[in-house]
Amino acid sequence: KAGVTQTPRYLIKTRGQQVTLSCSPISGHRSVSWYQQTPGQGLQFLFEYFSETQRNKGNFPGRFSGRQFSNSRSEMNVSTLELGDSALYLCASRHDPNRAEEQYFGPGTRLTVT
């Protein structure tokens, strides 16, 4: 099976712009989670989607949003970018969010805000 894929891998944006990141889960996986990774804060949970519904949300401002499509692919959007949004954004998938099984991570999207 193909692993979790994320596009684009690298992105440079300017403050105030918006950005959309994409994640395709492993085939058959219906749950997608997003994490932000920074040197200072480490890995922080953004949100999780299952069957096109947001199941859980981390402590991030409303500028961070996401959605999931019927084929389980997910997008994450950040509006009005700030310098502090520069980070590695990781997507992870698993088959069933009602079981505490491990998640499989994608390679990440490196976002740089200038």
Partner 1 sequence: AQTVTQSQPEMSVQEAETVTLSCTYDTSESDYYLFWYKQPPSRQMILVIRQEAYKQQNATENRFSVNFQKAAKSFSLKISDSQLGDAAMYFCAYRTLPSGNTPLVFGKGTRLSVIA
Binding site for partner 1 (CB under 8 A): 3, 33, 35, 42-43, 45, 48, 55-56, 58, 88, 90, 92, 96-108
What is the DSSP track for 65-105?
EEEE-TTS-EEEEE-S--GGG-EEEEEEEES-TTS-PPPEE
Q: Least CB distance from residue 34 to partner 1, whole Å?
A: 10
SS3 40: coil
Give the residue with the Cβ less far from partner 1, 18 or 41. Answer: 41
Give the span between the Cα atoms of 108 and 93, in whole angstroms: 13
Specify which residues 85 forms β-bridges with: none
Q: Least CB distance from residue 10 to partner 1, whole Å?
A: 11
Q: Least CB distance from residue 16 to partner 1, whole Å?
A: 27
Give the residue with the Cβ less far from partner 1, 2 or 14. Answer: 2
